[in-house]
Structure formats: structure tokens, C-alpha cells
Amino acid sequence: MRFLLMLSLALTVQFATAAPKGKTVIEITPDHADDWCYAVGDSVWFDVRITVDGKPLKNASVKYTFAYEKMPAYLTDKAVLADGTMRVGTAGMDCPGFLSCRVFLLDKDGRTVADNLAQAAFEPEKLRPMTWMPEDFEAFWEKAKAENAKIPMDPKVELVKDKCTDKVDVYYVRLQNFRKDNYVYGYVCIPKTGDRHPAVLYLPGAGVAKIGPSLYMAEKGVITMTIGIHGIPLDMPEENYGILKNGALNNYQYLNLDVLDQYYYKRVFMGCVRAIDYIFTLDEFDGERMMVSGGSQGGGLSLVTTALDPRVKYFVCFYPALCDHAGYLYDRAGGWPHMFDRNRAYFRTPERILNSRYYDAANFARLIRVPGFFSWGYNDLSCPVTSMYSAYNVVSAPKVLELELRNGHHRSSRQNRLADEWMLKQFYSDGENR
């Protein structure tokens, strides 16, 4: 990176005397406010505004940093904002990526009481994965699918009366997967009309939590299925999930990566395909219009499942995890679960690095040949936007990307609406449920 210049219009003076009371908002906006995008080599300015209950915070003490996404700060400074505003600038990047400006509001003792960030994009359309695809990548997964197909699905299905509505029947499903007496659990929602319907498989975000049925699209005439990935029932007492999260399933995302065939996500990927196996047994399914959808871990799984299963005709992907694990090995952001970041140097063994390439959603993205909808924000600390663009840019199929620039690791009602509209448009020529 070339030498960086920082300029500030704020004055560096003594701290304010007290932390503010009320709703504090730190708003940071790059000077290319419409799209937050810059050419490689451009400088970038960030406008900072701090308010409490909508009014400018006078004499606000702050610390601010500049960094390349997920990398250590290359500049840190402090200032007092006399009228609650300042403009700070820095030289940009000399390669595609994201540059972060982070602002910390400090109390009189110098402790952080609020913080926020904004990330400026430098030619993100040129980002590519730092991982590479092993020569036997496709053969490895074809073999895994063939082996899984030999395992009887042995479905156990129960109507869940207290979850049904006047428009939708809800079923609790258990499917055998990966090995004998290992299961995928899920809920299937089937519209009560006599028609044959399209279907969408919703894939879960990271963590260990109770998962319920998805009724919204089902009430619009779409079969929906939600699944868990951990092989545990979805109807246990709530406290059991916390026990598993902090016990047997703690840090599941790193388990057994040392051995290619035993990494935790192999069973997970096969479970996603097994769920589609089940959907294709339903008389109510039309046998053609199959979609997968998810966010975060579920977004990564939507890429993986679409690539693995040619029966998937469309996909929706919010802020995908599992993308470009190797990014950190080249001093740039990698995807969740950040397995090779600088704080996990001990994890960077040759075996794990090689094996990670077989489980990288960016490599699956290279194989996608069907239309997809993507959406994320630029300020995501959980799934770095560098890693998401790296996967998105290698998808050669038709695709849509809807940005909500200020968003972190969440999505707005607008993003949900646009995704639902896109989904219905794929399913129905007029964009309306029948």
C-alpha cells in the first residue's frame, strides 16, 4: 500500500466532561455519498455527525481509526467535535477492496460509550477470491452426494396442528442423512389449495437456536421448508439450545477441519441436499420451481446448495458467510468464521488451509449456472464485504445485487421486500401468487 495521508478538520483538545444521556447516533458518510465507491488510488473523505436525541452533541470527544477491512488500523487519532461534526480524510487503496473509518465516542475517562463505522469501496467489482479450486473439487462432492444418496431418507412426518393456519398445513419432519441414525430436522409448510406449488428451502444462519416454520411465503402459495444443521430436534426446550451452544456444539464451525472427510460442514452440506430430496417427494410440489434462500451462514449455504444440486433453479443470498476463507492468508479480509485471521495463527496448518478450499462458498459460486438475488450492506463486521464480493464476482449466471449501504450484519424491510418480489417473479410470470 502506498503512503497514507490523513487530514482532519476537527481540533484535538481535551476530552468532554461526561458521557451523553439519550439516544446517541454516530453517522459516518463517505464523500461519494450516493454509492460510497471510489477508483483505486482516489483519496476518500468521511463526514462524521454525532447526535443525541436528534441534536448535535457539543464538544464530543472521539477516537477515530482508518484501516483496510478487518486489518489492524494504520492510523489512530483523537479529536473533540465542537459542534458534533468533523471531516477526516485519507489516501485510498492501491488495489480493490474496502477501507474502514471507525469512530468511537469517549466518556470523560476515555472509555468508549458508542461507536460506528463506514466502509468505502474501491472497485469492488474487481475483487476475486484468494482461494483456488482443487482439481478434484467437483469429483469430491459428486462422490459425497452419491454416498449420501445410498442412505435411506426414512422420513418421519407429523402434522403440527397448533402451528397450522387456515391457509397452510405445517409438518415437522425428520430425515436420515449422512449416516445411519443421523438426522436432519425441519418444518414443511404446505398451502392448503389443491394446486401444485413452487418450493423454497430456507437455510439457517450461524449458531445453535430453535428454528420454526416459515409461513409468510407459504401463505402466498409457496411450499416452504426450514431446517436446522446440527442434527438436533427443533422442538426441544429453549434452554437445551443454550446448553449445546456452550457445550458440545461450541465452535462447531472449526470442528475436524484437519481431516477432509470429517469437517463439520460435510454433513451440513449433505443435509441441505437431503432436504431437497424430501421436497421432491411431495405430491404438492410441481417438481420444477425449486429455490434456496438464506442469510449469513444460510447465505453461504444457499451458494453451496445451488452449486451442489442441479434441481435448484434459483437462489436468494443475503450477506453470505463461508466465502474466501483464505483471504486472511494474503492480508485481506476473509469470510466468517474467520478461521485464518491473525488471532488464529495456530490454525493455519497446511492441512486445514487445503481442506478449507473444498468447503469455501466462493469455489461453489464458480459453479452456479442459475439466476440469483444477492443483498448486503457495506458495514458488515461479521461477514466482510470483501469476501462477499469475491464470491459474487465469480458467479457467471444472471444475478441481481441490492445494496443497503449503511447496513451491518442485518437486513432492512426494503431488502426483504425486494427479495420476496424477486422470488415471486421467478416463480410466477406476473410476479403474483396464483
Burial class of residue 166 (count of CB atoms within 10 Å of its CB; 0-12, 13-18, 19+): exposed
302 given a catalytic annotation: no
Query: What's the DSSP call for residue 16?
Result: P
Asked if 408 and 383 touch (Cβ cutoff 8 Å), the reply is no
Interatomic CA distance for residues 422 and 400, integer angstroms? 9
Q: Are 168 and 217 in contact (CB under 8 A)?
A: no
CA-based angle 158:164:168, to the nearest 5?
105
User: Which helix (DSSP H) or strand (DSSP E) does residue 427 occupy?
Assistant: helix 413-427
**Choice among 296, 302, 387, 390 that is catalytic:** 296
Q: Do β-strands 223-227 and 179-191 pair in parallel, antiparallel, or remain unpaired?
A: antiparallel
Give the whole-angstrom CA distance, residue 12 versus residue 64: 12
Q: Compute φ and ψ for 297, nearest 5 degrees.
A: -55, -40
Strands (E), 69-155: 75-81, 85-90, 97-106, 112-122
Q: Which of 47, 309, 360, 380 is catalytic?
A: 380
Spatial CB neighbours of 135, under 8 Å, sequence gap ≥ 6 = none
CA quadruple 374, 380, 383, 388: dihedral positive or negative? positive
Angstrom distances, CA of residue 31 to CA of 38, 41, 393: 10, 15, 25
Hey, what amino acid is at 56?
P
**Cα–Cα distance measured from residue 360 to residue 354, given in angstroms and rounded to the nearest whole number:** 11
Place of cell 481535551: 14
Which cell numbers in the block locate residue 97?
A: 477492496
Which residue in the list 197, 230, 338, 409 is annotated as catalytic?
A: 409
**Residue 380 known to be catalytic:** yes
With the CA atoms of 334, 337, 340 and 346 taken in that order, what torsion angle do they form, in degrees rounded to the nearest 10? 170
DSSP 3-state assignment of 76? strand
Identify whether 152 is preceded by a cis peptide bond (ω within 30 of 0). Answer: no
Catalytic site residue 181? no
For residues 153 and 158, what is the distance between their CA atoms, to the nearest angstrom?
Answer: 15
Residue among 211, 206, 299, 215 nearest 253 (CA): 206
Strands of 235-389, DSSP E: 285-296, 314-320, 372-376
Catalytic residue set: 296, 380, 409
